């Protein structure tokens, strides 16, 4: 059980809040782990109240974190196993570079959740911010494996530079879903704002809801009855586009036919 | 403060010292014959190697181009962060470290003098500001003059003396040290979307050929008696088959050489030693270049070693950077510096399994090993083009050990391995030769009188490495060599201990060397005055800034060292 002792004004970088850094340490050692609050160096115990039984391997550890965590960043960074359950809203960079294990958020997650992750699973019961599964700024090494499931909405540029893995969003998405993506699968159950798949080279984006327009650098291929995402069959029918031709891309963009009557004019090019 | 370094194995090739056990005395920042032992601080260097401070002839560490690279690559900072300590500032950057970090990292490796080889004259102010912020090490910077409109115009009219007066003005205005030429003519042609094909392809709008530019500036260099030779990045760099252009370039100034002294420095020669018609038929041209260099004394080279890592390429060679952008599909900066030069930046990763990259890796080592005289070739990576300068210790270990070369050969692209000349070369560098290619040779090529050696009167720039040359088997224990060269036991700069056991103990300021060619005997008051008048008159037509803002006064630099030229040098 982990609880913040007070509410934070400055961002707290707590990448040690992960099963991997707790594994093999006694409670006394754990509370002495280092975190940054703004530009100050602190120990975990100064900021958080921690209780529980220590374990030897990360796999066996479940961290339960609850409280106001909106300023707490990088929880579960680099984790390879175990489980983190978060009750409440959580700050940026959740599960950055995570390789395995599971993070469940009973609340909202801020931007950059699952950025650069290569494995494991993140489930957000609420909404997520911008840059879901994106790489660090300037880098092209986006999410390369694992799964991110968001029950609410997501912000801009979800799945930016994505190379592999799955992102499922049950709510709505803002602009630039799957921008620069080169692999992997994205499913948006709700509506999607503009320019999905911009600059995509490969990979799959499925939009079950409404899209206001498709980029002119995408070309329609055919109409499919259903599409598979992560082995799960989703019934359509869907318009299938490919692109982004501006960059000689071969990405697949599936858009629901039913919910997008304004895209009917594409049918004459079939 | 005085220092006495006792019982070290001293490697001082310029004074003919090869690993002899001796003491080095330092007083007031200089090396002296003797000091009062009781008053001096004693450094016990027994069982260690003592060398002059390292000198790097070619490393892009400052200026607008480097800074643009920093802006382009936040992800490069993210992977390499140095926290602040009591003596050092914090910093970031793997391939393009921030200025302070650059100074610290060079100091930790025992380097005390570094040269920034490409400075667009217009951006000299920025470059000097960054150089001033690069602590501890001494610096020099070379203005890019090979594609400057004034130079092209004078060379077209074959007015060498007028051209020399202008170059002298430019050296003074930008506080530069040597003439840098990048893809002569090609950078100018790139302003019009073109490149030059070879040495005799005339530059659009000027009619002057690259051959005339190289020869002209070589003559200017001799006339001004600059301490360094012309510093040349060849035409067609990075294109398969360019080794012929490189040979031709070296030949074209052969007749300008007098005696044994070099007249041309071909920089990052690896990139200019490609044989073949395209990327798939790429071969090493190292053998031909080495053969030529072994037979002639007017050329010096530096390696431009490629290291298998993620790095950032940046040159003034716009067309070549465009090619790299097309090859990699990566992000790219293209830049044109008014009438002077251009530039480009592309992040790049060299991969072991790529045929081309592995061949490039091999070519640089072949050059270093096939050129018999280490005074003619120097160790560089063309930082950050071939890899960051922090990989020098690794390259030293490759040069001293055939074992490690064989090990790496096993991991690289199969076809590249088959065609590499490395398995047939069993030369291994000695520590003395390492001292030549990392300091003595570079200092000599740069014409630095007080650097690169430990004779009486030299600057007390000393690196002490923790390896015992009497006990170590360089070839077998290459890892130890690498580790020793990564972190000095002591780095002494200007008589002060600045690093100990790989940690910075005092972050002093370094100095900036510049050449006052206006005082050269051939440039009399009158011709210099005429040149400045001519410039003033036409300045508004050529630049977007005013001449008053262009000229950098000496007082602008924190610690300038002015080298005044006379006819005798």
Per-residue confidence (pLDDT) for residue B569, from 0 to 100 = 42
Distance CA B153, CA B188 (A): 12
Distance CA B30, CA B51 (A): 15
**β-pair partners for A124:** A105, A150
Distance from CA of A151 to the nearest CA of B (A): 30
Per-residue confidence (pLDDT) for residue B520, from 0 to 100 = 66
Q: Which of B68, B69, B78, B95 is most worth mutating to test chain A (most A CB atoms within 10 A of its CB)?
A: B78
Quick count: other Cβ atoms within 10 Å of Cβ B463?
Answer: 28
Per-residue confidence (pLDDT) for residue B567, from 0 to 100 = 55
Q: What are the strands of the beta sheet with B377-378, ordered from one edge?
A: B180-182, B230-233, B264-266, B299-302, B377-378
Judged by DSSP in three states, B466 sits in coil
Q: Mean pLDDT lowest for which of A40-49, A114-123, B135-144, B517-526?
A: B517-526
Residue A43 pLDDT greater than 70, yes or no: yes
Distance CA B377, CA B456 (A): 26
State mean pLDDT over B197-209.
Answer: 91
pLDDT in tens, B294-308: 999 999 999 999 999
Residue B565 pLDDT greater than 90, yes or no: no
What sign does the CA torsion over B149, B151, B155, B161 have?
Answer: positive
Q: Which of B70, B71, B75, B76 is most worth mutating to test chain A (most A CB atoms within 10 A of its CB)?
A: B75
Q: Are A269 and A221 in contact (CB under 8 A)?
A: no
pLDDT in tens, B447-457: 999 999 999 99
Distance from CA of B74 to the nearest CA of A (A): 6
pLDDT in tens, A116-135: 999 999 999 999 999 999 99
Strands B512-516 and B180-182: unpaired
Per-residue confidence (pLDDT) for residue B473, from 0 to 100 = 94
The DSSP code for B30 is: E
Beta-strand runs (E) in B133-249: 138-143, 180-182, 230-233
Per-residue confidence (pLDDT) for residue B522, from 0 to 100 = 65
Inform me whether the C-beta atom of residue B345 falls under 8 Å from chain A C-beta atoms: no
**Over chain A, what is the mean pLDDT?**
94
**CB < 8 Å to A137, chain B:** 74-75
Per-residue confidence (pLDDT) for residue B411, from 0 to 100 = 96
Cis peptide before A244 (omega within 30 of 0): yes
What is the ipTM, given to two decimal places?
A: 0.83
Cis peptide before A168 (omega within 30 of 0): no
Residue B568 pLDDT greater than 60, yes or no: no
State mean pLDDT over A237-264.
Answer: 93
- What is the pTM (predicted TM-score) of this model? 0.92
Find the closest chain A residue to B69 by CA distance: A138
Distance CA B141, CA A22 (A): 51
Find the closest chain A residue to B78 by CA distance: A136
Distance CA B184, CA B215 (A): 11
Whole-angstrom CA distances from B265 to B6, B249, B280, B384, B424 are 37, 11, 29, 19, 27
Strands A164-169 and A185-188: parallel
Which helix (H) or strand (E) covers residue B370, if one does?
A: helix B355-370
Residue A35 has, within 13 A of its CA and on its CB side, a CA count of 28
Distance from CA of B69 to the nearest CA of A (A): 11
User: Cα–chain-centroid distance for residue B239?
Assistant: 21
Per-residue confidence (pLDDT) for residue B525, from 0 to 100 = 77
What are the residue boundaries of the structural domains of chain B, listed by start?
1-52+142-569
pLDDT in tens, B389-443: 999 999 999 999 999 999 999 999 999 999 999 999 999 999 999 999 999 999 9
State mean pLDDT over B94-110.
Answer: 96
Inform me whether the C-beta atom of residue B78 falls under 8 Å from chain A C-beta atoms: yes
Burial (CB count <10 Å: 0-12, 13-18, 19+), residue B295: exposed
Tokens of A222: 């055919």
Inform me whether the C-beta atom of residue B138 falls under 8 Å from chain A C-beta atoms: no
Residue B37 pLDDT greater than 90, yes or no: no
pLDDT in tens, B319-368: 999 999 998 889 999 988 888 888 899 999 999 999 999 999 999 999 99
Distance from CA of B431 to the nearest CA of A (A): 40
Q: Are A112 and A134 in contact (CB under 8 A)?
A: yes
Q: Are B432 and B11 in contact (CB under 8 A)?
A: yes
Inform me whether the C-beta atom of residue B85 falls under 8 Å from chain A C-beta atoms: no
Between residues A229 and B569, the one the model is more confident about: A229
């Amino acid at each position: 059980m982990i609880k913040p002792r007070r509410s934070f004004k400055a961002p707290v970088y707590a990448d040690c809040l992960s099963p991997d850094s707790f594994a093999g340490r006694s409670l006394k050692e754990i509370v002495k782990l280092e975190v940054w609050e703004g530009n100050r160096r602190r120990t975990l115990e100064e900021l958080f109240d921690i209780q529980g039984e220590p374990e030897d391997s990360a796999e066996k550890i479940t961290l339960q974190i609850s409280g106001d965590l909106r300023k707490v960043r990088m929880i579960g960074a680099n984790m390879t196993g175990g489980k983190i359950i978060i009750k409440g809203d959580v700050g940026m960079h959740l599960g950055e570079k995570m390789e395995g294990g599971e993070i469940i958020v009973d609340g909202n997650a801020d931007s950059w959740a699952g950025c650069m992750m290569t494995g494991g699973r993140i489930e957000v019961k609420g909404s997520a911010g911008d840059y879901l599964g994106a790489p660090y700024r300037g880098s092209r090494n986006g999410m390369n494996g694992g799964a991110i499931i968001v029950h609410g909405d997501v912000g801009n540029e979800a799945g930016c530079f994505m190379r592999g893995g799955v992102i499922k969003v049950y709510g709505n998405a803002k602009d630039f879903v799957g921008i620069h993506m080169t692999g992997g699968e994205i499913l948006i159950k709700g509506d999607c704002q503009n320019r999905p798949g911009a600059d995509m080279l490969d990979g799959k984006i499925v939009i079950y809801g409404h899209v206001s327009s498709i980029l002119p650098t995408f070309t329609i291929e055919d109409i499919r009855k259903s599409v598979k995402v992560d082995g799960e069959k989703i019934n359509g029918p869907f318009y299938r586009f490919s692109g982004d031709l501006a960059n000689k891309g071969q990405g697949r963009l599936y858009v629901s036919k039913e919910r997008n009557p304004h895209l009917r004019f594409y049918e004459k090019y079939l | 403060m005085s220092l006495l370094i006792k019982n070290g194995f001293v490697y001082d090739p310029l004074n003919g010292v090869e690993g002899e056990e001796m003491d080095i005395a330092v007083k007031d920042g200089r090396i002296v014959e003797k000091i009062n032992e009781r008053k001096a601080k004693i450094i016990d260097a027994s069982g260690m190697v003592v060398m002059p401070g390292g000198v790097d002839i070619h490393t892009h560490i400052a200026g607008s181009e480097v800074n643009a690279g920093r802006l382009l690559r936040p992800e490069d900072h993210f992977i390499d962060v140095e926290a602040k300590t009591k003596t050092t500032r914090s910093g970031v950057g793997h391939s393009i470290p921030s200025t302070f970090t650059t100074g610290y990292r060079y100091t930790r490796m025992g380097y005390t003098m570094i040269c920034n080889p490409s400075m667009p004259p217009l951006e000299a102010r920025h470059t000097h500001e960054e150089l001033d912020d690069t602590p501890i090490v001494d610096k020099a910077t070379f203005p890019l003059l090979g594609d400057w409109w004034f130079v092209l115009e004078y060379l077209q009219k074959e007015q060498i003396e007028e051209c020399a007066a202008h170059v002298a003005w430019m050296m003074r205005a930008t506080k530069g040290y040597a003439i840098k030429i990048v893809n002569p003519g090609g950078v100018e042609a790139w302003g019009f979307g073109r490149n030059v094909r070879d040495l005799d392809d005339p530059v659009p709008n000027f009619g002057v050929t690259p051959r005339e530019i190289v020869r002209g500036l070589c003559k200017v260099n001799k006339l001004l008696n600059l301490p360094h030779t012309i510093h040349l990045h060849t035409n067609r760099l990075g294109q398969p088959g360019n080794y012929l252009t490189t040979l031709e370039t070296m030949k074209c100034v052969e007749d300008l050489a007098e005696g044994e002294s070099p007249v041309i420095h071909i920089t990052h020669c690896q990139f200019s030693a490609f044989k073949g018609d395209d990327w798939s038929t790429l071969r090493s041209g190292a053998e031909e270049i080495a053969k030529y260099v072994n037979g002639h004394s007017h050329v010096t080279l530096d390696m431009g070693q490629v290291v298998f890592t993620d790095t950032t390429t940046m040159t003034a060679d716009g067309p070549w950077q465009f090619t790299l952008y097309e090859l990699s599909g990566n992000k790219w900066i293209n830049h044109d510096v008014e009438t002077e030069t251009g530039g480009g930046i592309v992040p790049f990763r060299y991969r072991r399994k790529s045929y081309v990259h592995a061949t490039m890796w091999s070519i640089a080592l072949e050059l270093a090993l096939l050129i018999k005289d280490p005074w003619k070739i120097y160790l560089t990576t063309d930082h950050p083009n071939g890899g960051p300068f922090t990989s020098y210790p690794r390259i030293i270990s490759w040069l001293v050990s055939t074992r490690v070369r064989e090990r790496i050969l096993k991991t690289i692209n199969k076809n590249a391995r088959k065609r590499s000349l490395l398995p047939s070369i069993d030369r291994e560098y000695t520590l003395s030769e390492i001292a030549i290619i990392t300091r003595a040779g570079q200092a000599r090529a740069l014409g630095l009188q007080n650097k690169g050696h430990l004779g009486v009167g030299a600057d007390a720039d000393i690196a002490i490495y923790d390896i015992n040359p009497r006990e170590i088997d360089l070839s077998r224990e290459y890892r130890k060599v690498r580790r020793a060269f990564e972190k000095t036991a002591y780095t002494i700069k200007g008589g002060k201990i600045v690093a100990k056991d790989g940690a910075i103990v005092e972050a002093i300021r370094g100095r900036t060397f510049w050449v006052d060619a206006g005082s050269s005997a051939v440039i009399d008051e009158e011709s210099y005055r005429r040149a400045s008048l001519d410039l003033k008159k036409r300045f508004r037509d050529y630049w977007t800034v005013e001449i008053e803002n262009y000229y950098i006064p000496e007082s602008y630099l924190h610690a300038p060292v002015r080298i005044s030229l006379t006819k005798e040098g």
